[in-house]
């Protein structure tokens, strides 16, 4: 599966991406730039997006945006609405998880740190609709 990981903490994002690539045999792109998110998602080469909820320093059209806002924008556009999005956050409480999902139009929310990668990989497979082995194009 081709995954786009949107994470502002490069070290955390890179380590998570490597684990997903090694344990799940997935191809992972890592970015924190809104322009890259839309470019990759519109390319048709992404099967699933893992989106951090908080993205300080991420801007779209001159405005600082959160992962919730980026997720909402992706789900609101015809060409990217079908992409499954899993939100990641270290700060969600049980009370605000459903609000975050609703506001983002996301498919699932997970808390970090991720401690059970087998369960996380199984979740990604379920959310994406099954095993997808599409080629990942370098660009």
In this structure, whether the domain defined by 2-128 belongs to CATH 3.20.20.190 is answered with no
- Find out whether 71 and 105 touch, Cβ atoms under 8 Å: yes
Is the predicted pLDDT of residue 136 greater than 60, yes or no?
no
Confidence of residue 93 (pLDDT cuts 50, 70, 90): low
Residue spans per domain, the chain: 2-128
Q: What is the pLDDT of residues 8-65, one digit of tens each?
A: 999 999 999 999 999 988 999 999 999 999 999 999 999 999 999 999 999 999 999 9
Is the predicted pLDDT of residue 95 greater than 90, yes or no?
no
Distance CA 99, CA 122 (A): 24
Phi, psi (deg, nearest 5) at residue 111: -95, 150
- Res 111: pLDDT: 87
Least confident of 14-28, 65-79, 92-106, 114-128: 92-106
Residue with tokens 């801007």: 59
Residues listed for the chain: 139
Contacts 24+ apart (CB under 8 A), 27-30: 27/1, 27/2, 27/3, 27/136, 28/3, 28/4, 29/2, 29/3, 29/4, 29/5, 29/136, 30/5
Distance CA 17, CA 129 (A): 20
Residue 50 parent element (H or E): strand 48-52
What pTM does this model have? Answer: 0.89
Is the predicted pLDDT of residue 92 greater than 80, yes or no?
no
Distance CA 2, CA 111 (A): 21
Distances (CA, A) of 7 to 15, 78, 87, 97, 134: 11, 24, 10, 19, 23
């Amino acid at each position: 599966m081709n995954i786009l990981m949107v994470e502002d903490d490069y070290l955390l994002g890179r380590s998570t991406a490597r684990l997903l690539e090694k344990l799940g045999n997935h191809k992972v792109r890592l970015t924190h730039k809104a322009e890259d998110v839309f470019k990759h998602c519109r390319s048709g080469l992404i099967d699933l997006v893992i989106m951090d909820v908080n993205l300080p320093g991420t801007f779209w059209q001159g405005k600082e945006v959160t992962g919730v806002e980026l997720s909402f924008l992706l789900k609101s556009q015809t060409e990217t609405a079908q992409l499954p999005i899993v939100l990641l956050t270290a700060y969600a409480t049980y009370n605000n998880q459903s609000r975050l999902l609703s506001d983002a139009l996301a498919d699932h929310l997970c808390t970090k740190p991720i401690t059970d990668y087998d369960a996380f990989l199984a979740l990604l497979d379920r959310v994406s609709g099954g095993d997808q082995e599409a080629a990942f194009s370098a660009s």
